[in-house]
Copies of this chain bind each other. A is one copy, B any other.
Amino acid sequence: MITARDGVYFELHSFPFCYCSIAIYFGSLPSFLYSLSTPLTTLDLTMDNKSAFWLYPFSISFTRAKHIGFVQSVVVLTLASALIVSPISSVSSFQLSAFGPSRKEVNILLKVIFCLKMEVNKEKYAADLSSIKEAHARISSFIHKTPVMTSESLDAISGRRLFFKCECFQKGGAFKFRGACNAIFSLDDQQAAKGVVTHSSGNHAAALALAAKLRGITAYVVIPKNAPECKVQNVLRYGGQIIWSEAPVQSREEIATKVLQETGAAFIHPYDDGRIISGQGTISLELLEQAPLIDTIIVPISGGGLMSGVALAAKSINPAIRILAAEPKGANDAAQSKAAGRIVTLPETNTVADGLRAFLGELTWPVVRDLVDDIITVDDMEIIDAMRLCYEILKVAVEPSGAIGLAAVLSDSFRSNPAWKDCNRIGIILSGGNLDLEVLWASFRK
């Protein structure tokens, strides 16, 4: 990765244990000011978040870093100090391990930096590691600790080691139960007695109905008429009260507001809610315990609740971890938002992944903007092909939204991107498995 702009020269090979050279020349004052005025998110993604360094007009030059010990430590500490006071928070994916200090030292350093930065930026995010740990304590007796599966066949196909966190095995058939459970068990008794209300295309609805049932309260669920039948059946099975709406998000929201006013129930947004984000973040706590050596996590992105929780928890535990989002090309609002540096919504979406049609929210956007290292978009055929591999090799029944992480790993845009060629141990979240398979059963009845 080599980048140059306005007198600032920056070079970094981030192959740990191999070879490293870094050279940052003095930047001019105009370039410094220009950098400050440029939102990080509009920079070329191949630069990763290392562009944060452009802000600092100092110069260092090394080759063969491993021959230099003490000096590098000083450099690292200098960089660390600079990063701590930096107004930009997204430095966590930077690979310092090539600088000379051991990977462990670097990770401790990164962690200190990250924690300080998280503290500084606390008000920006709706959840943090402690709220996520609290959520885990609150919900762990209700949720399944889903297994992490591996497959040598899929490792061979992808050329990486893959660790599948099977949230499709979560209660209700999707990760959504974690957030719903945390939100519902966070309510005080008086609030809870009036019930909860939400709008959702299905998985959040079923999850909320199930969590409400566990607490013995009512869940009012606004569901668009085009939701998949099996997801609607899940809501009914768990005793949720269904209120139908039209497909557009606006219609859902209006009806949900009406129910809210009539019942006094607590509104629980499918993703733009700190309690939901904290609940989804518990996935990272488990995944990093089950597969502690992963260097990358790939997460399906829709409204960003799952993404935010996973990114906040994972980067707090291991700031060096890469967090990548996988998004359908037909609903690529998150990729467009990252590129534009602001929330972008789309007039319409068109994808087989019915669970990934929502847009980023006010609470999820800052996390996606700052902590997500890249968004990989894939088309529907890539999603179906990945689903097929999940069924035929992993033997896991995922829905299209659930398979998109595998689709991203197998996509050309991921494979050919040099920024990700050292992503060797990748956690993939198989987010859900609620899918109508009637065509399959009909074929058996013949």
Given known A-B contacts A171-B152, A396-B396, A391 and B437 have beta carbons under 8 A apart: yes
Give which listed residue, B230, B392, B395, contacts A398 with CB less than 8 A: B395
Measured in the bound complex, the distance between the Cα atoms of B384 and A169 in whole Å is 21
Give which listed residue, B173, B392, B395, B444, contacts A169 with CB less than 8 A: B395
A149: chain B residues at CB < 8 Å are 169
Measured in the bound complex, the distance between the Cα atoms of B171 and A292 in whole Å is 23
A237: chain B residues at CB < 8 Å are 153
Give which listed residue, B153, B169, B230, B395, contacts A397 with CB less than 8 A: B395
A399 to chain B, nearest CB (A): 9
This protein's copies in its complex: 2
The answer to whether the Cβ of A445 comes within 8 Å of any Cβ in the partner chain is yes
The answer to whether the Cβ of A443 comes within 8 Å of any Cβ in the partner chain is yes
Contact, CB under 8 Å: B433 / A439: no
The answer to whether the Cβ of A74 comes within 8 Å of any Cβ in the partner chain is no
The answer to whether the Cβ of A394 comes within 8 Å of any Cβ in the partner chain is yes
Contact, CB under 8 Å: A391 / B397: yes
A352: chain B residues at CB < 8 Å are 444
Given known A-B contacts A147-B147, A153-B237, A433-B395, A441 and B169 have beta carbons under 8 A apart: no
Give which listed residue, B230, B395, B443, contacts A392 with CB less than 8 A: B230
Q: Which of A153, A171, A387 has the most CB of B within 10 A?
A: A153
Contact, CB under 8 Å: A437 / B394: no
The answer to whether the Cβ of A29 comes within 8 Å of any Cβ in the partner chain is no
The answer to whether the Cβ of A33 comes within 8 Å of any Cβ in the partner chain is no
Contact, CB under 8 Å: A395 / B173: yes
Q: Report, as a range, how many residues of chain A touch the other chain.
A: 20 to 34
Give which listed residue, B153, B388, B433, contacts A437 with CB less than 8 A: B388
Measured in the bound complex, the distance between the Cα atoms of B387 and A438 in whole Å is 12
The answer to whether the Cβ of A196 comes within 8 Å of any Cβ in the partner chain is no
A153: chain B residues at CB < 8 Å are 237
The answer to whether the Cβ of A168 comes within 8 Å of any Cβ in the partner chain is yes
Given known A-B contacts A396-B396, A396-B397, A440 and B441 have beta carbons under 8 A apart: no
Q: What string of 1s and 0s marks CB contacts (under 8 Å) between A366-409 and chain B? A: 00000000000000000010011001111111100000000000
A423 to chain B, nearest CB (A): 24
Contact, CB under 8 Å: A392 / B437: yes
A230: chain B residues at CB < 8 Å are 392
Measured in the bound complex, the distance between the Cα atoms of B437 and A398 in whole Å is 14
Contact, CB under 8 Å: A394 / B169: yes
Within 8 A of B (CB), among A402-446: 433, 437, 439-441, 443-445
Other than the given A395-B397, A439-B439, 18 more pairs (CB < 8 A) read A147-B147, A152-B171, A153-B237, A168-B395, A169-B394, A169-B396, A173-B393, A352-B444, A384-B441, A387-B444, A388-B441, A391-B397, A391-B437, A392-B397, A395-B396, A395-B433, A397-B397, A437-B440
A to B CB contacts below 8 Å, 13 in the list: A168-B395, A173-B395, A387-B444, A388-B441, A394-B397, A395-B397, A395-B398, A395-B433, A396-B396, A396-B397, A397-B397, A439-B440, A439-B443
The 3 A-B pairs of least Cβ separation, nearest first, read A395-B433, A147-B147, A439-B443
